[in-house]
Structure 1
Amino acid sequence: MSGRRGTSATVLVAGGGIGGLAAALALARGGHRVVVLERAPEFAELGAGIQIAPNGVLALERLGLGDAVRAAGVHMAELRFMDGVTGEHVTSLTLTERYRRRFGNPYLVVHRAELHGLLLRACRAEERIGLRAATAVTGYRQDAAGVTALLDGGAAVRGDALVGADGIHSAVRARLLGDGAPRISGITVYRAVIPMELVPEELRRPASVTWWTGPHCHFVHYPIAGGALLNLAASRDNGATEAPANVAVTEEAVAEQLAGLAAPAARRLLALGEGWRSWVLVDRDPVERWTDGRVVLLGDAAHPMLHYAAQGACQALEDAVLLGELADGTGALAEAFDTFAAERRARTAAVQRAARESIRLWHPAGEAAEARNRLLRGLSEGGLHERVAWMHGVKTFSSSDHHNYDGEPWA
C-alpha cells in the first residue's frame, strides 16, 4: 500500500473481526484516522481453523503481514478428496511447487485467533487507529457533513464515513438495506479441535486438507496451530429451519448425523472429537447495493457466504485492501465507496454462488457420487488448478478477475 498522505478523514468501522481490522489497517495506512467499534467486551476471534488461499495471502502481503502469516500458518501440500462411503482416495488438488509458482503464494491454514491476532497487533501499532471494545453499533444517520454511528444505550460517535464490517447480522446493513434475516441453508456444521498427539500416526496427514464426502454430509479436517491441533468440521444437510449458533452437541449425536460416512478412517477420526459445537449455516443472496452515501458494507455484512469455498475471510481481506487503495489520499470517500462496491460486487457474488453450488460436489449419493468421482479422477493436476484459478489466482481484487468462473462447483 502506498501510504500516501492526502486529504485525511475520520472513518468509523463497525466490527472488529478479521474484515474490520483489515479495513482499519488499510484505511489508516492511506492516511485516514480510523475508530474501530467492536460489540464484544474485548477484541478477540472465536472459532477454530481457517484456510487462506493465495489470494488471501496476497491481500495480507499488501497489508504488510505476508511474512507474518506465512510464518504462522501451516503450509498445505494438497486438498485431498476422499469418498467417505468407500474410503477411496479420489483425487488431490496439489498445492506444492507448480501451484505456488502459478498462483504466487502458498495455501495456508491457521487458527482464526492467530490471523485475528496478527491484524490486531498491527492495528495497535498504528497511531491513526483507535480501538473501542464493548461498543455496539445499532444503526447510523448521516448528513452532508458526516455520519453518526448510533450505539447501544443511546450514545453516538461522529465521523466522516462509516464502514459496516459487523458480520452477517450487521446492524449497518439492516439500516442500509433493511433486507431482513439471512437465508437458512438447512445445513448444520459440527466443529471440534483436538490435540494432534491424540491422532493415530497413520491418520495425521500433516500437510493436507482432507474431505470425506457422503450422502447429504461431509467431513473435513486439517492441522492448525503449527500442526499441534487437528481442526474437525463435519456438515450434515438435515433440513434445519432455525439457525442456532455455537450449541454444545454430544459425540453420539455427531456420529448419528454423520452415519453416512462408512469409511473406517473417517469414522475413527470423527470418534476422536470431543467438545463438539454446532452451527446452522446461513448466508444471503448477492445484492447490488452496498453503499449509502458515506456508508459502505464490507465482508460478511456485504456478501456473506457458506464456508464451503473456504473464501469468507479471503474475500473480506480482498475487500479491505481494495477499499484502502481506492480511499488512499482522498477525502471524497462517498465516491471511493461507490467505486469499491462496483469493483467488488460481481467477484464476490461469483464466490457466493460457488460456495452454495459446491454442495453438489460434497453431498451426492449413489450413482451421482460415482459419476462425480469419475469426473474428478479424469482431471489432471493442471486441470484441477485451472478450476480454481479464477478464485485463487487474482492480482487486482476487482470483478474483472472473476470471469473464468463457469458455475461448476469446484471451489
Structure 2
Amino acid sequence: MKGQNSKELIIVGGGIGGLAAAIGASEAGQKVQVLEQAPEFGEIGAGLQLAPNAMAVLDRFGLTTEIDKYAVYPNRLVLRDAQTGEELSALDLGEEFKKKYGHPYIVMHRSDLHKVLLEACEADKNITLTTNAMIQEVDLRDENVKVVNQAGEDFEADYVIGADGLWSTTRQYVQKDEAVCSEYVAYRGTIPMEEISNEANLEDVIMWIGPNLHLVQYPVRRKELYNQVAVFKTYNYKPDSEDWGTPEELDRRFRDCCSTVKRAVEFINKARRWPMYDRLPIENWINGRMMLLGDAAHPMLQYLAQGACQALEDASCFADVLKEKGSENMEEVFKAVQKERQPRTALVQTRARTWGEILHAEDSITSLLRDSILKEREPNDFSHVDWLYSYFSEQKNSSVKESS
C-alpha cells in the first residue's frame, strides 16, 4: 500500500533536466512528483547555449513563446585566437542554418530557462513540486520504490527517475563510480551591458581559444546582460582540495592573451570557481524501477554546450516512448529510452572531451594544424555539427520514409 506522499512517478531533482522530464511525463498523461533538495526551485550559473536539438524540444512542449521573452539570437558562433585576436572560423546561424535544422540557435541565462520550465510545471495539474527534499536513501523494492529525504520523510512511487545532476545521489544505485576531474576550472558570470567594453561583440557567440584556456562571451536576457566564462587548466591540481584553480592562476594563465581578452577577464567574477568534472559513459541507466536521465546519467564537459540540450532530448524521448508503451509498461519504457539515448549521449560525452583537447592544444604543431583546418572552413559548412544538431530532423525524415 502506498503512503501519504505516494505518486505514480517521482523525479529526483528539480533542475532543467528534472523539470523537462516532468513536462514530458505529463504530456504522456503521467502524474509525477518532482523532489528538489533546495528550499526553492532555482538555478545558479550564468549563460546557456541552446542549439536546434534543444529548441526542437522546447517547441514541442509549447514553450518557445515564453523562451522568446528572454532569448538572444546570435548571428554566428565564432572561434578566435586568444593570443593574437585573429578570427579562426565561424558558423553562420542565419536562415540557411535554421532551414536545415528546423530551429534557431539561441543563448539565454540559465535561470531564465529554468523559470520557463518551472512555470510550465506549476501550471500543470499532473505535476506536484516539492522542495526541501534532499534525498538520502533509495529503497528499490519489488512492488514500488521508496525515497527518504534528510528529515526522514518517505516518498513512495511506482517508479523513480534520478535527474539529480553530476553529483547524483541516485546514480550510486545504478553505477558505483566517481566523477572525473578535468583539472580545468571555470569562472563565470554576467555583467550589466553598460559596464562592458566598447569592443564587445553583441551579435555573436565568441570563443577565444589558447593553450590550456578559453574565454566565451555572448549577451543574454534580451541583451541586457553580457555573459562571460573564463576556463583554464590549473597549474597545481590537488585532489580533495580547494587550493587550485585560484583567481591568481586565472590572471596568470590569461596574461599572455591579446588586450581584448585580458580586459574581458578583468570583469570576470572571481568570487566563485567551478571545477570542471564529468563521468565516463555507462551502458546501463536502470536499476529495477529506477532510471537515470540528464546529467545523472551522462554528465559531460561543457565544450560542446550540450549538457542541457541532451537533458531536453532525454525528456522528449521519454515522452514519446511513454505515449507509445503506456505507464503500465514503465519498465519497458525505461529500457526503450535507454536503448535510444545511451549511444547518443555517450558519443556527445566522448566528443566533448576530444573537442576540449583540440581547443586547448598546447603543442604548437597541433595548434597550427587545428588552425589551418578551421581557416579552410566556410561559415555555411555544417558538416562538422550535423551529427549533433540534426537529431530530430533525421528522426522526422526517417519517419516519413517509413510511412511512405
Q: Same fold (TM over 0.5)?
A: yes
Residue 75 of structure 1 aligns to a residue whose secondary structure is coil
Alignment partners' CA distance in 1, 2:197 and 2:138: 53
Deviation track 1:96-127 (CA, whole Å, cap 9, x = no partner) reads: 11111111111111101100000000000001
Paired position in structure 1 for 2:340? 343
Residue in structure 2 matched with residue 48 of structure 1 by the alignment: 46
Unaligned runs of 5+ residues in structure 1 are 1-8, 402-411
Contact 2:17 2:308 in 1 (8 A): yes
Following TM superposition, by how much is the alpha carbon of 1:295 offset from its aligned partner in structure 2, in angstroms? Answer: 0.5
SS in 2 for 1:348: helix
Q: Secondary structure at the match of 1:265?
A: helix
Deviation readout 1:128-174 (Å, 9 max, x if unpaired): 11110001112312333221112223221111100000111111111
> What does residue 282 of structure 1 align with?
277
CA distance in 1, matches of 2:164, 2:64: 25
Q: Which of residues 82, 86, 94 is equivalent to 2:84?
A: 86
**Residue 196 of structure 1: aligned partner:** 193
- Distance apart, 1:249 and its partner CA: 5.7
Q: Deviations over 1:52-90 (max 9, x none)?
A: 000000011111212322332100111111111111111
104-113 or 190-199, which deviates more:
190-199
Structure 1 pair 276–392 and aligned structure 2 pair: CA distance change class (3 A): farther
The aligned amino acid for 1:236 is: F
Instruction: Determine the structure 2 residue equivalent to 1:318.
Output: 313
* Cα contact 1:173–1:297 (8 A) shared by 2: yes
Question: Residue 229 of structure 1 aligns with which residue?
Answer: 225
Report the 3-state secondary structure (helix = DSSP H, G, I; strand = E; otherwise coil) of the residue aligned with 2:172: helix
- Asked whether the 8 Å contact 1:248–1:275 carries over to 2, the reply is no
2 CA distance for matches of 1:308 and 1:91?
16
Query: Paired residue for 1:353, among 330, 350, 354?
Result: 350
Amino acid at match of 1:190: Y
Q: Where do residues 390-409 of structure 1 align in structure 2 (5 Å cutoff)? A: 390-395=387-392
Q: Tell me, in whole angstroms, the C-alpha distance in 1 between the residues paired with 2:386 and 2:230.
A: 26
Deviation at 1:176, TM superposition (A): 2.1
2:68 aligned with 1:70: yes
For the structure 1 residues 274 and 170, does the alpha-carbon distance in structure 2 shift closer, same or farther, using more than 3 Å as the test? Answer: closer
CA contact (8 A) 2:39 2:131 kept: yes
Q: Describe the superposition over 1:311-358 as per-residue Cα deviations: whole angstroms up to 9, x where unpaired.
A: 000000000111122112432111100110111011001100111001
With over 3 angstroms needed to count, the CA separation of the structure-2 counterparts of 1:159 and 1:293, relative to structure 1, is same
Q: 2:112 aligns with which of 114, 121, 136?
A: 114
Segment drifting more, 364-373 vs 203-212: 364-373
Deviations 1:221-269 (A, max 9, x none): 1111111111111111125243678x9964x543223224x21111121
Counterpart-to-counterpart distance in 2, 1:244 and 1:351: 29
Task: Identify the residue that residue 35 of structure 2 maps to in structure 1.
Answer: 37
- For residues 121-140 of structure 1, the aligned pairs below 5 Å read 121-140=119-138
Q: In structure 1, how many angstroms separate the alpha carbons of the residues matched to 2:104 and 2:76?
A: 11
Matched letter for residue 229 of structure 1: L
Q: Which letter does structure 1 place at the counterpart of 2:102? A: G
Relative to the length of structure 1, the TM-score reads 0.89
Q: How many residues align?
A: 387
What CA RMSD, in Å, does the superposition of the two structures yield over aligned residues? 2.2
Q: 1:176 is matched with which residue?
A: 174
SS at match of 2:281: coil
Please say if residues 209 and 215 of structure 2, whose CA atoms lie closer than 8 Å, have aligned partners that are also in contact: yes
2:215 matched to 1:238? Answer: no
Q: Is the 8 A contact 2:202 2:218 kept in 1?
A: yes
* Closer, same or farther: CA 110–242 of 1 in aligned 2, 3 Å: farther
